[in-house]
């Protein structure tokens, strides 16, 4: 039993969000990471025809007619360079051949906690200028704004430094971000460990009869992150709610009886995300558990296909066939997997994509990129929600998240489209009260065997 998550109600936890900057391996990995980023930036600047890369961290945004700010979200182009996710009004400046610079906003402010003084594995590698007011950044940015590729949102504009987001630079940087550095993989592994602590606490809360809201709180407590720090809103769904793909309502009372539980929840680590889904049955010896087990086994198998050269579009189509085979085995559909795919019946049960790239963003960029010079690889016709159409290459990390759902709206379409005979409706009635099943891991493509980043974190926590 791992001591760290054996008591989800222990409020004396360390602050998991405080950087553990002393880990020596992160230090070493970061040096290599930075060198890769500099090479990429050199190439991006040369392609776009600029001399400096300038990246604002972003600003606070305010609610309309109000003085309340929305949760701050750092510019991903900024956090790609720095393990800093809570320093609005700061800037990164990179000029080829020079040491990169951080303009670090640390205001005099007695209303809020101000960012700590710069510390950690990154500081030795940057010139750092501390500013107390946002406009002081101007003194530290390059002389000629017209020679800068400025990557950011319009609200970050400061004087002449208006984000111009040159397409050639963005296309190149986003495409290259698909290839994770060893530093990034290490960050993502930590994000797995955190999320797994939450998943284990969530399962315990479910088995103890907690509501969706209670399960969510148990998750956050075990991860040590609140909703604003997680990489996306927790999906915590009991019973039929599992049929809503992004169910985020968090019911305050548990339904009676509780039959099933789907949780899709991740964690953040220095700006990197994990994205994990598990599904549980209350009755672990019933037919729904058997259906979960079948999807789980298929999911493991799909993860093994994350190999260099494999076309992700094809993996998605193969997943339709596999899931249709399971539906046939369980008597839910009466036609062959091939027929279910051809008629769109499989999409009624599996209406989303097999997965997506993941990294600094939970749905990471460049899933459709044709090359680092732009262009888009289209989705296969009839699969409008697939978020990854590229061939897999070493260094990429993708999610593999097959699912089977019982969604009335989509099942009505099957009937209306003349395919009612493909389905055994008594079996739908039997499974509808359980909602749906999704199993999701994050998997790294390598030169050889794929590396499932998620499953070892569960095994480690259970040891
Ligand atoms: N974790 C939610 C999603 O991938 O859409
Ligand atoms: Mn996902």
Structural domain that includes position 254: 178-462
Tens digits of residue pLDDT in 71-116: 999 999 999 999 999 999 999 999 999 999 999 999 999 999 899 8
Alpha helix stretches (DSSP H) within 283-402 = 287-303, 312-329, 337-343, 345-349
Q: What is the pLDDT of residue 3?
A: 38
- Does one domain contain both 195 and 144? no
The answer on pLDDT for 8 being more than 50 is: no
Instruction: Name the pLDDT band for 9 (thresholds 50, 70, 90).
Output: very low
Q: What is the pLDDT of residue 25?
A: 80
- Does one domain contain both 153 and 242? no
Q: Which residues are annotated as a binding site for Mn(2+)?
A: 264, 275, 356, 401, 440
101 CA distance to ligand 1 centroid (A)?
A: 35
347 CA distance to ligand 1 centroid (A)?
A: 17
Tens digits of residue pLDDT in 291-308: 999 999 999 999 999 999
**What average pLDDT does the structure give for the chain?**
95
Closest CA to 108 of 133, 138, 136: 133
Instruction: Name the pLDDT band for 139 (thresholds 50, 70, 90).
Output: very high
What is the average per-residue pLDDT within 251-279? Answer: 98
441 in contact with ligand 1, CB cutoff 6 A = no
264 in contact with ligand 1, CB cutoff 6 A = yes
The answer on pLDDT for 21 being more than 50 is: no
What is the average per-residue pLDDT within 267-274? Answer: 98
The answer on pLDDT for 4 being more than 80 is: no
- Does one domain contain both 325 and 220? yes
3-state SS record for 310-321: CEHHHHHHHHHH
Q: Does residue 203 sit within a domain?
A: yes
182 CA distance to ligand 2 centroid (A)?
A: 22
Tens digits of residue pLDDT in 378-387: 999 999 999 9
249 CA distance to ligand 1 centroid (A)?
A: 15
Q: Does residue 458 sit within a domain?
A: yes
- Does one domain contain both 119 and 264? no
| Cβ pair 269, 184 in contact under 8 A | no
Q: Does residue 5 sit within a domain?
A: no
Task: List residues, by chain if needed, whose CB lies under 5 Å from ion ligand 2.
Answer: 275, 399
The answer on pLDDT for 264 being more than 70 is: yes
3-class state of residue 33 by DSSP: helix
- Does one domain contain both 344 and 195? yes
The answer on pLDDT for 33 being more than 60 is: yes
Ligand nearest to the CA of 441: 2
- Does one domain contain both 224 and 112? no
Q: What is the pLDDT of residue 26?
A: 87
Which atom of ligand 1 is the closest one to the Cα of 265? 1
Say what the pTM is.
0.94
275 CA distance to ligand 2 centroid (A)?
A: 5
- Does one domain contain both 161 and 186? no
Q: Which helix (H) or strand (E) holds 130?
A: strand 127-131
What is the average per-residue pLDDT within 271-291? Answer: 98
308 CA distance to ligand 2 centroid (A)?
A: 21
**The CATH number of the domain where 112 resides is what?**
3.40.350.10
Q: Which residues are annotated as a binding site?
A: 264, 275, 356, 401, 440
| Cβ pair 376, 367 in contact under 8 A | no
Ligand nearest to the CA of 232: 1
- Does one domain contain both 243 and 371? yes
The answer on pLDDT for 205 being more than 50 is: yes
3-class state of residue 428 by DSSP: helix
245 in contact with ligand 1, CB cutoff 6 A = no
Ligand nearest to the CA of 399: 2
Residue where one domain finishes, among candidates 125, 144, 165: 165
Q: What is the pLDDT of residue 23?
A: 56
- Does one domain contain both 186 and 156? no
- Does one domain contain both 214 and 154? no
Residue where one domain finishes, among candidates 141, 165, 189: 165
Chain-centre distance of CA 359, in angstroms?
6
- Does one domain contain both 161 and 211? no
184 in contact with ligand 1, CB cutoff 6 A = no
Counted domains in the chain: 2
Q: Does residue 26 sit within a domain?
A: no
Tens digits of residue pLDDT in 375-420: 999 999 999 999 999 999 999 999 999 999 999 999 999 999 999 9
Tens digits of residue pLDDT in 304-340: 999 999 999 999 999 999 999 999 999 999 999 999 9
Higher pLDDT, 446 or 25: 446
3-class state of residue 357 by DSSP: strand
Q: What is the pLDDT of residue 297?
A: 98
Q: What is the pLDDT of residue 20?
A: 52
Residue where one domain finishes, among candidates 165, 192, 220: 165
- Does one domain contain both 142 and 196? no
Compute the distance between CA of residue 239 and CA of residue 414 in angstroms, rounded to an integer. 23
CA angle, residues 21, 22, 25, in degrees to nearest 5: 95
Q: Does residue 456 sit within a domain?
A: yes
Q: Does residue 421 sit within a domain?
A: yes
Q: Does residue 379 sit within a domain?
A: yes
**The CATH number of the domain where 270 resides is what?**
3.90.230.10
Q: Does residue 428 sit within a domain?
A: yes
Ligand nearest to the CA of 245: 1
């Amino acid at each position: 039993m791992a001591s760290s998550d054996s008591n989800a109600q222990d409020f004396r936890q360390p602050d998991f969000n405080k950087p553990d900057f002393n880990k020596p391996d992160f230090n070493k990995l970061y040096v290599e990471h930075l060198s890769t980023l500099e090479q990429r930036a050199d190439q991006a600047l040369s392609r776009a025809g600029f001399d400096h890369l300038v990246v604002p961290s972003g600003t606070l945004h305010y609610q309309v007619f109000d003085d309340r700010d929305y949760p701050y979200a750092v510019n991903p182009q900024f956090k790609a360079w720095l393990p800093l996710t809570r320093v609005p009004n700061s800037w990164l400046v990179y000029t080829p051949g020079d040491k990169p610079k951080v303009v670090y906003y640390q205001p005099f402010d007695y209303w809020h906690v101000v960012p700590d003084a710069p510390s950690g594995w990154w500081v030795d590698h940057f010139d750092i200028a501390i500013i107390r007011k946002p406009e002081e950044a101007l003194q530290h940015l390059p002389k000629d704004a017209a020679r800068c590729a400025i990557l950011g949102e319009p609200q970050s504009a400061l004087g002449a430094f208006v984000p111009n987001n040159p397409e050639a630079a963005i296309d190149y940087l986003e495409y290259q971000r698909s290839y994770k550095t060893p530093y990034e993989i290490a960050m993502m592994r930590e994000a797995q460990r955190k999320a797994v602590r939450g998943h284990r606490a969530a399962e315990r809360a479910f088995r103890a009869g907690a509501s969706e809201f209670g399960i969510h709180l148990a998750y956050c407590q075990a991860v040590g992150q609140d909703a604003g720090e997680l990489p996306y809103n927790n999906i915590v769904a009991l019973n039929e709610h599992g049929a809503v793909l992004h169910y985020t309502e968090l019911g305050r009372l548990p339904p009676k009886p509780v039959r099933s539980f789907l949780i899709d929840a991740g964690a953040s680590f220095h700006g990197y995300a994990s994205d994990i889904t598990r599904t549980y049955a209350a009755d672990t010896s019933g037919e729904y558990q058997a259906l979960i087990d079948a999807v789980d086994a298929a999911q493991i198998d799909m993860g093994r296909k994350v190999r260099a050269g494999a076309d992700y579009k094809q993996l998605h189509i193969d997943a339709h066939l596999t899931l249709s085979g399971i539906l046939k085995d369980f008597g839910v559909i009466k036609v062959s997997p091939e027929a279910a795919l051809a008629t769109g019946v499989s999409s009624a049960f599996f209406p989303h994509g097999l997965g997506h790239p993941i990294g600094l963003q939970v749905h990471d960029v460049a899933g459709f990129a044709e090359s680092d010079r732009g262009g888009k690889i289209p989705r296969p016709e009839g699969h409008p929600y697939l978020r990854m159409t590229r061939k897999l290459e070493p260094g990429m990390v993708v999610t593999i998240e097959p699912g089977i759902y019982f969604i009335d709206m989509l099942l009505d379409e099957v009937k209306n489209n003349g395919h009612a005979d493909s389905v055994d409706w008594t079996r739908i009635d039997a499974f509808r009260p359980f909602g749906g099943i999704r199993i999701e891991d994050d998997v790294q493509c390598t030169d050889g065997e794929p590396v499932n980043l998620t499953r070892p974190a569960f095994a480690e926590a259970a040891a």
